Amino acid sequence: MVEKEFVKDIPSKSEDFSAWYTAVIRKAGLADYTSLKGCMVIKPYGFALWENVRNALDKRIKETGHQNAYFPLFIPESLLKKEAEHVEGFAPEVAWVTHGGKEELEERLAVRPTSEAIICSIYSKWVRSYRDLPILINQWANVVRWEKVTRLFLRTTEFLWQEGHTVHRTKEEAQEETLRMLNVYKDLLETELAIPVISGQKTEREKFAGALKTYSIEALMGDGKALQAGTSHNLGQHFAKVFDIKFLDEDQKEKYAWQTSWGVSTRLIGAIIMVHGDDYGLILPPKIAPIQSVIVPIFKKNTKEFVLSKAREIKDVLKGIRVELDDREEYTPGWKFNEWELKGVPLRIEIGPRDIEKGNVVLVRRDTRKKVVSPIAEVKNRVGELLDIIQNDLFLKARRFVEDNTHYVEDYGKFKKTIEEKKGFIIAPWCGSSECEEKIKEETKATIRNIPLAKVKEGRGKCIYCGKETDLYVYFARAY
């Protein structure tokens, strides 16, 4: 029997988190590097994972009344420059097209870093009356941002995402939409990805360029760093005034529209890896795993057909579950066990001649690696039950990790020691000053992740930096 050398040399997650992360991605077949610095190829297994995340979100987006559309990849420089604050925020990351074929373009074209400018220019033509509102549109697209430092899935030159862009009649409707979509993201991560998040508002310093308010969901990765997993922006009337998006209201007065934008990207794949993975590789939540269960038959030459026949029967019984039958003969069962563990398949079904004689199969959980014997006659119910249990247990484990690594701090000396030694989230009082926020970042590399929507502490405290009395408690962390 010929076997390739099994790719098992994964660095320890606890000893070298960064090397572990990259090794898991490449060896599990999620993505790979290309000859173009900062760009990655998403391999079929990684894209299947993204498709499952995308489909779960797309369903939620449509259930909230939004429709999908598509807008141009290229944005004329004059459009991008119409909103000074917006273009300044993205200027260092914009890729420019200067030639079409051999001819130099009369005007440079930006390769989409985000679509507010191009979409707003189009909405200005579509909106005339209050009857045209609301516009509830989402697009699934690619984006290019010329990043100096890149990392697979987390920060790449080109990445995939969705961006919603909506137009509303009133300020209240826009704010309701902004928070509605933030909650959609929270539900997606907690229900499908088994990742607990903190919902809150970004500070003025950290908000999206040109927005009135920015909200985010923040997740805690396995190394104690935070990841901004999704954002929702109340754009107010700022872009409407720049791009002349006006409508005639019922009172026959012309008014500027209110807008929102919101998005998540393929960095969610990075979050799944960093929250759930271990030294053996990926651990995928069943709801979004490309393969939920894999059947590994164990046989010798004289029992091959006997075992494979029963394995095929079990696969047929498991219709409705994403199941794979690994009947490759060039690899040993042990090699297959390691490979499927590396790929994070939630549940492995082992079946051999002795198991069949007893009328059983062995079910092995990827998250705990524990084995459960199940009668073949009950296999569909048992597999379904275990997948639900694994999904729930992964969320509970991740939530415990957040709880264990969230620290309340009221003293700046203790703050600096905690962020250095313990990492994780720090809840601390802050006066609201951008100056204090900037000084804390300069001295500790910790940023305010968001101002939580749910109050985390009653009463008043003193800003950890300047000592000013405040009732504002916020989440700090070092972040990706």
CA dist 242 and 17 (Å) reads 45
Q: What Å distances lie between residue 419 and 299, 329, 400, 456, 475, CA to CA? A: 53, 51, 19, 19, 12
Backbone angles phi, psi at 264, to 5 degrees: -135, 160
For residues 346 and 286, the answer to whether their CB atoms sit within 8 Å is: yes
Predicted local distance difference test score (pLDDT) of residue 8: 58
- pLDDT single digits (tens) 219-241: 999 999 999 999 999 999 999 99
Listed residue (54, 215, 211) closest to 120, CA to CA = 211
Mean pLDDT of all residues in 35-55: 97
How are beta strands 258-265 and 158-168 bridged, if at all?
Answer: antiparallel
pLDDT for residue 417 is more than 60: yes
* Burial profile 372-381: b = 16 or more Cβ within 10 angstroms, e = fewer: eebebeebbe
For 293-389, CATH number?
Answer: 3.40.50.800
pTM across the whole model: 0.95
Amino acid at 140: W
pLDDT digits (tens, 9 = 90+) for 103-148: 999 999 999 999 999 999 999 999 999 999 999 999 999 999 998 8
pLDDT for the residue 471? 95
Tokens of 394: 């992964």
Radius of gyration of the chain (CA): 25
| Domain chopping of the chain, boundaries | 17-276, 293-389, 406-477
- Residue pLDDT, tens place only, 164-209: 999 999 999 999 999 999 999 999 999 999 999 999 999 999 999 8
The architecture of the domain spanning 17-276 is 2-Layer Sandwich (3.30)
Give the separation between CA 441 and CA 460, rounded to whole angstroms. Answer: 23
Report the mean per-residue pLDDT for the chain. Answer: 95
How many angstroms separate the CA atoms of 327 and 298, rounded?
9
Give the model's confidence band at 86: pLDDT under 50 very low, under 70 low, under 90 confident, else very high: low
Provide the pairing of β-strand 360-365 with 371-375.
antiparallel
pLDDT of residue 88: 76
We find that the CATH architecture of domain 406-477 is 2-Layer Sandwich (3.30)
Q: Is the pLDDT of residue 455 over 70?
A: yes
Report the pLDDT averaged over residues 359-371: 98
Residue 118: both structure tokens together: 């191009």
Mind listing the pLDDT tens digit for each residue in 397-409? 999 999 999 999 9
Q: How sure is the predictor about 9, in pLDDT bands with cuts at 50, 70 and 90? A: confident
